[in-house]
């Protein structure tokens, strides 16, 4: 094990941290409240059966106890603010702190979402500007910021496609989805009441027009609602044949949904509108440095052609000579997808990043994201076999096939051993089309120094797999928790604390 790259031991002093329920003592307080100066209320008389028979067993702790507990727990977290987070497909890029400053301005945070339009012109203008920039990035005419995540953007776009067909008196059901698409794509089709038809992945990892045509002919040519394609796809490759495929779909009366979650690899270089896409979503949290993880809040704006505009979610942000207004009178709209205007705080953060970078900066960011992934690929391909011979974009996918045959060490073991070296595990066993996939996305925000440390750790693990496979198979050794039974944790999660049996 290389002393230089061995960073697990640098974690400082750690203390065991029991749940806060196991701290404190009856009557201990963290705050001093003024004496009750209103009449005491009989809860049972007020709430009847809903009233609690016994008080909730809340922890009774002092302020330092509560504060220290949560700070200590927060220190056990692995986060982008402390280390590189090479999760492929999830794009854990650093969230610049200036974004947070902007989003915390009292004019934004204290604004009520129901304030009349004429009193929140500044906020509406920020939204308008974000929409304009996203239209420029995607090469599409219009934008809605409402969807709260990439997957919700997918659902919204598909609902709009469906509404577009219905408005023409058609109800085609089939959406062709290449196998290289993100997992949410077929799921969104089902949720939208459409039928996802899989197009098998070709050997090179790309979707090809010949296969799309064969699938259309096989599945009945008149029933084409559209195509849903992730580009760059989940093997980290650019779908070069998309314009030809889009033409095929358009010729059949269908529409093309582009999953643009990976725009961070192509912004400023290629535009979805030019590739034949009719509607696309962008994950602000993957491309424009807004935070994500832990379930949100995210933002998955969609951009689309003028032809799809009547069906976009309402209200529609409109620029009039009198100022910005939220137009609710949209009879063909698919309706509201999210409360109020979506996750507004994310729009400010994204806008801050867009303005700080400028057009040239955004172009450079995507070039660096690809360069960093290709650097990792070039530094590791002699010891980890790659999934595709084509040049990768923003993420690179390795397979464990050869390593497992030679040493018995699998993708999961490598991922766990990385934790001992102080790195978060990459995405594992996804995409499913690659055997034992190990998908690494460094993002543009990591320096060459950090990338070199990561490469050194990966190479050291490969070395260990040959010399001492059990060391890797039993990893992690240096984390607070050793290897967990993840299948059990997923199937029978214990999410509630119970008092220790006395
Ligand atoms: C290619 C792709 N599509 C869709 C999604 C779904 O986005 P979200 O997690 O915001 O719903 C992701 C998420 O990482 C993605 O990588």
Ligand 1 neighbourhood includes 366 CB (under 6 angstroms): no
Q: Taking the alpha carbons of 164, 170, 176, 177 in that order, is the dihedral positive or negative?
A: positive
Residue 461 CA to ligand 1 center (angstroms) comes to 29
Residue 151 CA to ligand 1 center (angstroms) comes to 6
Q: What is the CA radius of gyration of the chain?
A: 26
Q: Give nearest CA residue, ligand 1 atom 9.
A: 150
* Nearest atom of ligand 1 to the alpha carbon of 151: 11
Give the pTM: 0.90
At 456 the pLDDT is 98
SS (H, E, C) 300-346: CCEEECHHHHHHCCCCEEEEECCEEEEECCCCCCCCCCCCCCCCHHH
Pocket test for ligand 1, best of 152, 187, 261, 338 (most atoms within 8 A of CB): 261
Per-residue pLDDT of the chain (502 residues; tens, 9 = 90+): 443 444 444 456 677 788 999 989 999 998 888 999 999 888 889 899 888 888 888 899 999 999 999 998 888 888 888 899 999 988 889 999 999 999 999 999 999 999 999 999 999 999 999 999 999 999 999 999 999 999 999 999 999 999 999 999 999 999 999 999 999 999 999 999 999 999 988 889 899 999 999 999 998 778 999 999 999 999 899 999 999 999 999 999 999 999 999 999 999 999 999 999 999 999 999 999 999 865 567 899 999 999 999 999 999 999 999 999 999 999 999 999 999 999 999 999 999 999 999 999 999 999 999 999 999 999 999 999 998 889 999 999 999 999 999 999 999 999 999 999 999 999 999 988 899 999 999 999 999 999 999 999 999 999 999 999 999 999 999 988 899 898 999 999 988 888 777 5
Ligand 1 neighbourhood includes 149 CB (under 6 angstroms): yes
Residue 283 CA to ligand 1 center (angstroms) comes to 7
DSSP assignment letter at 489 = H
DSSP for 61-126, please give it. --HHHHHHHHHHHHHTS--TTTS---BTTT------HHHHHHHT-HHHHT--TTS-GGG-HHHHHH
Residue 177 CA to ligand 1 center (angstroms) comes to 15
Residue 395 CA to ligand 1 center (angstroms) comes to 14
* Nearest atom of ligand 1 to the alpha carbon of 91: 14
At 480 the pLDDT is 83
Ligand 1 neighbourhood includes 265 CB (under 6 angstroms): no
SS (H, E, C) 167-199: HCCCCCCEEEEECCCCCHHHHHHHHCCCEEEEE
Helix 411-420 vs helix 448-467: crossing angle, to nearest 10: 120
Domains and CATH numbers, the chain: 18-75 (no CATH), 99-108+117-354 (3.40.640.10), 366-491 (3.90.1150.10)
Q: For residue 283, what are the CA distances in angstroms to 36, 81, 172, 347?
A: 49, 20, 28, 11
Residue 182 CA to ligand 1 center (angstroms) comes to 7
98: β partners: none
């Amino acid at each position: 094990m290389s002393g230089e790259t061995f960073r697990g031991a640098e974690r400082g002093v750690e203390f065991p941290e029991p749940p806060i329920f196991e701290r404190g003592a009856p009557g201990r307080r963290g705050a001093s409240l003024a004496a009750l100066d209103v009449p005491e209320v009989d809860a049972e008389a007020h709430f009847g059966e809903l009233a609690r028979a016994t008080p909730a067993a809340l922890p009774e702790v002092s302020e330092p106890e509560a504060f220290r507990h949560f700070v200590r727990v927060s220190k056990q977290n692995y986060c982008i603010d402390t280390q590189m987070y090479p999760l492929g497909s999830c794009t854990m890029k650093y969230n610049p702190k200036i974004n947070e400053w902007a989003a915390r301005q009292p004019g934004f945070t204290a604004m009520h979402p129901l304030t009349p339009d004429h009193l929140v012109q500044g906020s509406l203008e920020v939204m308008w500007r974000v929409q304009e920039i996203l239209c420029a990035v995607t090469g599409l005419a219009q934008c809605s910021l409402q969807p709260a995540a990439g997957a919700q953007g997918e659902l919204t776009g598909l609902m709009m496609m469906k509404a577009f067909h219905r408005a023409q008196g058609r109800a085609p059901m089939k959406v062709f989805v290449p196998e290289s698409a993100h997992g949410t794509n077929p799921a969104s089709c089902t949720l939208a009441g459409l039928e996802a038809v899989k197009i098998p992945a070709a050997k090179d990892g790309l979707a090809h027009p010949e296969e799309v045509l064969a699938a259309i002919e096989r599945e009945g040519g008149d029933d084409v609602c559209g195509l849903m394609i992730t580009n760059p796809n989940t093997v980290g490759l650019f779908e070069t044949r998309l314009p030809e495929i889009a033409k095929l779909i358009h010729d059949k009366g269908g529409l093309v949904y582009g999953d643009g979650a990976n725009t961070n690899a192509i912004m400023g270089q290629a535009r979805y509108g030019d590739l034949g896409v009719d509607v696309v979503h962008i994950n602000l949290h993957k491309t424009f440095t807004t935070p994500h993880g832990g379930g949100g809040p995210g933002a998955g704006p969609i951009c689309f052609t003028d032809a799809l505009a009547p069906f976009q979610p309402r209200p529609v942000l409109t620029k009039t000579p009198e100022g910005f207004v939220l137009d609710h009178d949209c009879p063909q709209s698919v309706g509201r997808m999210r409360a109020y205007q979506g996750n507004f705080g994310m729009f400010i953060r994204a806008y801050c990043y867009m303005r700080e970078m400028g057009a040239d900066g955004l172009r450079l960011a995507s070039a660096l994201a690809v360069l960093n992934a290709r650097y990792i690929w070039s530094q590791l391909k002699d010891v980890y076999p790659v999934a595709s011979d084509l040049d990768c974009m923003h993420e690179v996918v390795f397979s464990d096939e050869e390593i497992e045959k030679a040493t018995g060490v699998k993708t999961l073991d490598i991922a766990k051993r990385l934790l001992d070296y102080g790195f978060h595990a990459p995405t594992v066993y996804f995409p499913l089309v690659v055997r034992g996939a190990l998908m690494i996305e460094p993002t543009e925000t990591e320096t060459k120094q950090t990338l070199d440390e990561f490469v050194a750790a990966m190479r050291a693990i490969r070395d260990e797999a040959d010399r001492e496979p059990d060391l890797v198979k039993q990893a992690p050794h240096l984390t607070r928790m050793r290897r967990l039974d993840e299948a059990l944790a997923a199937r029978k999660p214990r999410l509630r604390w119970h008092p220790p049996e006395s």
